[in-house]
Amino acid sequence: MKNRQNQHLFGKTLGIALATASLVISTPTFAQSPSAAPTKPAMSGSQTTGAGTVVDVASSNPSFKTLVKAVKAAGLVETLSGSGPFTVFAPTDAAFNKLPKATLQKLLKPENKETLTKILTYHVVSGAVDSKSLKSGAVNTVEGSPVDVKVGKGVTVGKAKVTKPDIKASNGVIHAIDTVLLPPDVKL
């Protein structure tokens, strides 16, 4: 039991270290220029009134019910409710519905928490980067593997299309996507 607790603590510490390293490494690539990537969430006027954390905002959006359930199952609520800032490429319920139902149910089981966490953190980038600041290129995720962002007629992240950009939160920004992203070493 003690070994399991030590592994859990090590995992959280590693996650924080990866998030910090990801921010340092990816910000110049991810944004138009280093100065375009704000250190605090980019918010203005009425968009920020009453905005909660990325978890709060996702929880209040009916398109993210499955994502919120997955975040809870992975134990990431506290992390994503922290100060951040975070950019979350958030799969909608329709994106999760593209997965076989049995696969999703399997991922939500406690014994698959590590895989689920890996998948979800692959959707998170350190820093709050709105769609106007996005730039094409490989971006390091909190999971540790890079994801390819392409900006042109719309924005794609990996094989996912951004369907609703710039959903503001107090600790970052959410960009809704139409496909669940998988880290290169995860096979479902």
CATH number reported for the structural domain that contains residue 128 in this entry: 2.30.180.10
pLDDT of residue 14 exceeding 50, the answer is no
Residue 8 pLDDT level (bands cut at 50, 70, 90): very low
Q: What is the pLDDT of residues 100-134, one digit of tens each?
A: 989 999 999 999 999 999 999 999 999 999 999 99
Residue 118 counted as domain residue: yes
Residue 151 counted as domain residue: yes
pLDDT of the residue at 188: 76
Residue 184 counted as domain residue: no
pLDDT of residue 10 exceeding 80, the answer is no
Residue 53 counted as domain residue: yes
pLDDT of residue 43 exceeding 50, the answer is no
Residue 47 pLDDT level (bands cut at 50, 70, 90): very low
Residue 71 pLDDT level (bands cut at 50, 70, 90): very high
Residues 6+ apart with CB under 8 A from 25: 140
Answer for the pair 36, 75: CB distance below 8 angstroms, yes or no: no
pLDDT of residue 28 exceeding 70, the answer is no
pTM recorded for the entire structure: 0.74
Domain that holds residue 84: 2-177
Helix axes 65-74, 113-121, angle to 10 degrees: 120
Judged on CB neighbours under 10 Å (0-12, 13-18, 19+), 140 is buried
Residue 183 counted as domain residue: no
More confident residue, 158 or 39: 158
Residue whose tokens read 């399997």: 106
pLDDT of residue 38 exceeding 70, the answer is no
Residue 100 counted as domain residue: yes
Number of domains in the chain: 1
In whole numbers, what is the pLDDT of the chain averaged over residues?
Answer: 79
Residue 117 counted as domain residue: yes
